[in-house]
Amino acid sequence: MGQIGGLMFFFGLASIVLYFLNYQLTLLMWIDMWGEAVAWAIRIGLLVVGAALWLIDKKNDSERAQ
């Protein structure tokens, strides 16, 4: 789950940064078809959910190591 979370976080962050540079990820071009508010919700959702999955996986790894 940590790898999926890391990818989601990366894509969310990259999408936000590239938006301000007037570019977009080809993989996420479809989110702009639903309007700006929905596109931002998806970008932020990717960022937050990805970070949460990654952090939960890191916590589980440290608990398994003990």
Burial of 16 (0-12, 13-18, 19+ CB in 10 A): middle
pTM of the model: 0.84
Helices (H), strands (E): how many in the chain? 2, 0
pLDDT surpassing 70 at residue 66 = no
Q: Which residue has the tokens 């190591």?
A: 65
Q: How far is Cα 21 from Cα 4, in angstroms, rounded to an integer?
A: 26
**Selected residue with higher pLDDT from 43 and 58:** 43
Q: How does pLDDT run across 27-53, given as a tens digit for each residue?
A: 888 998 999 999 999 999 999 999 999
Where does residue 35 fall: left (phi above 0), alpha (psi -120 to 50 degrees), or beta otherwise?
A: left
pLDDT of residue 2: 80
The listed range with the strongest mean pLDDT (14-18, 22-26, 28-32) is: 14-18
